Amino acid sequence: MQKLLGDMKAYLIARVSTADQLEALPAQKYKLTDYAARFFPEYEMFEFQESAYSGTRDKFREILAKLEATTEPVAVVFDKVDRFTRDSSAEETNILKNLCRAGRVELHFPSDNLIVHKDSPSTDKMGLGLNTIFAQYYSDAISDNVKRRFEQLRRDGIWTGKAPFGYTNIVLPDNKKWIKPDYPKANAVKTAYELYGSGSYSLITLRHKIDDDYGYDLSAGQWDKILKNPFYKGYMVVKGVTYPHSYEHLVTEEQFDRAKAIRDGYAIKPKRWAGLPYPYRGLISCAECGSRVTFEMKKQKYIYGHCTQFKGKHGARYVPQEELTEQLESVFDQIQMPEDAYVEVIEALQKDDEVSRKQNIDMLAQIDSELCRNDSRIERNYNAYLNSTITEEFYTKKYADIAENNKKLAKRRENIELMSKNDFSSISSLLILSRNAPSLFKNAEIEDKRVLLNTVLSNLELNDDLLQWKLKEPYDCMALCNKNRNWLGRRDSNPRMPVPKTGALPLGDALLYIATE
């Protein structure tokens, strides 16, 4: 290795490309300082982590700026050529080469036994070129290997990036990287799909609703991406290619498709009045022809609803929106629970819930005991089969019988747990809605009114100037109880409210809108 004569300052550059290479910096610094101490009277050390492929080499650019501003020749020392560059086309690399050709810089590579300056022979220049090519080939080969490894991981159902909102990246005890739901963010995603899929929320109102309920202030655009991301239903998309993944799904195919249908419906069939403040827009059909009832403003003041008469003229009337509101308010008067009845029913439910909870605990214990006995039976039969005490045919039949019994027991256990979770809390929330129904509807914002109507009513039609509807379960039963002034029925040793069982309750959108006491 030939060194030019003359005293000059040296810039020592210790560089790594990635964080996992940081442990190599001390060795680089040792070699560089040892070399500089032997050949240069003055030197300055620079160390940093930057990659030429990342597009940001701020530290390297700062050094180049100092070199360009220096009038005296400077020796720039890298441990090896691959620490200088692995990309011969990089702008910083070409700047440094040009400074070298102009005689303002010498390039030193101690571990490669190479020095390049403006008067270097062709063999040294060729050595720099070859080493640069080898360094770039090595980098490209690593990149190809990483790409192939990532491609295989994706085929195996493994996500190779940061988990989307609602999930979190973790490391399992065996050091395997994994992704699991991140609660309560995962619940926020599930709720977003349910609300948007109901058709009663825009992205803007959905955003505010999730922020109010969960405290996640994401933009409407971010929720749009979440509602379009198939990762939540079990698929990951990389560069246009779809792979099924191995992690827990937050939504079903049906929920994802329903959200997509709502979104596509808005995109394909935009309505010029879609942004106008008409609370009953799209909710009412004409009883005579089945067409939609539309709304429009007259004299910049009065709002009327009328059939579009899309299927033919039939003299549809224009009904003031105020009249429709009065009729709809009567719906919530019908299902309102009096305060004294509310207190009585809640007390009865609390007592009943305590009894049911104890019964459920006992039933779950019995089921678990039976499952353990079945596992023991399977093990005994298997040992008997291995010892030729029983035939393979007998073992297979007994195993199938026990497995079928275990399946039924597991289903019973699942049903009991579901009822335990949704029993008292769900019914009491429903009762709060019933008690406050008129004021909730009267004071609700437009989107909230629409949710309440969709929750309580079905088959909402306009017949001339009168609305017709059908109360959904269990609100039809609640209206009957209110009419008969009988909310508990005949009291007995196990009092229950005469409404449908928990499984029939609307446990989705409605409960999210219930006002607190």
Interval 391-421: pLDDT, tens? 888 888 888 899 888 888 887 877 666 555 4
∠ Cα 227 230 235 (to 5°) = 165
The single-letter code of the amino acid at 331 is: V
Res. 429 pLDDT band, cuts 50 70 90: low
In this prediction, residue 166 carries a pLDDT of: 94
Find the Cα–Cα–Cα–Cα dihedral 192, 194, 200, 203, rounded to 10°.
Answer: 20
**Residue pair 26/32 in contact by the 8 Å Cβ criterion:** no
For 270-324, write each residue's pLDDT tens digit: 444 444 567 888 889 999 998 989 888 888 788 999 998 888 899 899 999 999 9
Among 117, 142, 112, residue whose Cα is nearest residue 130: 112
- Omega into 474 within 30° of 0, i.e. cis? yes
In this prediction, residue 134 carries a pLDDT of: 74
**Tokens matching residue 384:** 């008997």
For 231-266, write each residue's pLDDT tens digit: 999 998 888 888 898 899 999 988 898 888 777 655
Residue 383, φ and ψ in degrees, nearest 5 = -65, -40
The single-letter code of the amino acid at 336 is: Q
Enumerate helices (H) and strands (E) in the chain, giving the number of each: 16, 15
Secondary structure class of 119 (helix, strand, coil): coil
CATH architecture of the domain with range 9-149 = 3-Layer(aba) Sandwich (3.40)
Strand ranges inside 366-498, DSSP E: 457-463, 466-471
Within the chain, all domains assigned CATH 3.40.50.1390 are found at 9-149
Within the chain, all domains assigned CATH 3.90.1750.20 are found at 167-268
Parallel, antiparallel, or unpaired: how do β-strands 167-171 and 177-181 relate? Answer: antiparallel
Q: What is the DSSP string of 132-159?
A: HHHHHHHHHHHHHHHHHHHHHHHHTT--
Topology of domain 167-268 in CATH is: Hect, E3 ligase catalytic domain fold (3.90.1750)
For 144-185, write each residue's pLDDT tens digit: 776 777 778 778 888 888 999 999 999 988 888 899 999 999
Distance CA 265, CA 399 (A): 51
**Tokens matching residue 449:** 């009114």
Mean pLDDT of 31-43: 90
**Tokens matching residue 429:** 């929330």
∠ Cα 77 83 88 (to 5°) = 105
